[in-house]
Amino acid sequence: GIVFIRPGLTYDVGDIISFKNPSGMTVTHRLVAKQVGIPENNYQVAGDANPQPDSVLVPHSEILGKSVFYLPYFGRLAGFIQSPTGFIGFLIVPALLFIVWQIYEIFQEYRKIIEKRFTA
């Protein structure tokens, strides 16, 4: 799915947050524990499908924001559209259908003009 996030000043246990993991990938997990620290707080997170929380704590500075809206399965559609087959299916085919429809409309108007000339 696709998650829409909004940066926040504070994050609480139960919030769904997106953050950068140590390898630089964006990850979205539920916040399960908060450790108040100096200079910043650290958070323990867990994926909803994982029975155990992640072993690495997430520093506050790595959090991109908390989830405000979620579109399930939309990420799969976006990924498909980026593939060659998806590109053809979602861009080229509709464009070709539009062009064919416009040509049909032009011929309909042309036919009306011809009919008016022969009936007048």
CATH label of the domain that carries residue 7: 2.10.109.10
Predicted TM-score (pTM) of the model is 0.62
Co-location of 20 and 60 in the same domain: yes
Co-location of 64 and 92 in the same domain: no
For residue 87, what pLDDT band results from cuts at 50, 70 and 90?
confident
Co-location of 61 and 86 in the same domain: no
Co-location of 62 and 95 in the same domain: no
Q: Span 50-67, mean pLDDT? A: 90
Co-location of 63 and 94 in the same domain: no
Q: What is the pLDDT of residue 120?
A: 65
The domain of 59 spans: 2-72
Co-location of 53 and 88 in the same domain: no
Co-location of 13 and 51 in the same domain: yes
Query: Distance between CA 28 and CA 21 in Å, rounded?
Result: 10
Co-location of 67 and 28 in the same domain: yes
Give the range among 13-22, 58-67, 72-81, 97-106 with minimum mean pLDDT.
72-81
Co-location of 80 and 110 in the same domain: yes
Q: How many domains does the chain have?
A: 2
Averaged pLDDT score across all residues of the chain: 90
7-16 contacts: CB < 8 A, separation 24 or more? 7/64, 7/65, 8/65, 8/66, 11/41, 11/43, 11/60, 11/63, 11/66, 15/66, 15/67, 16/66, 16/67
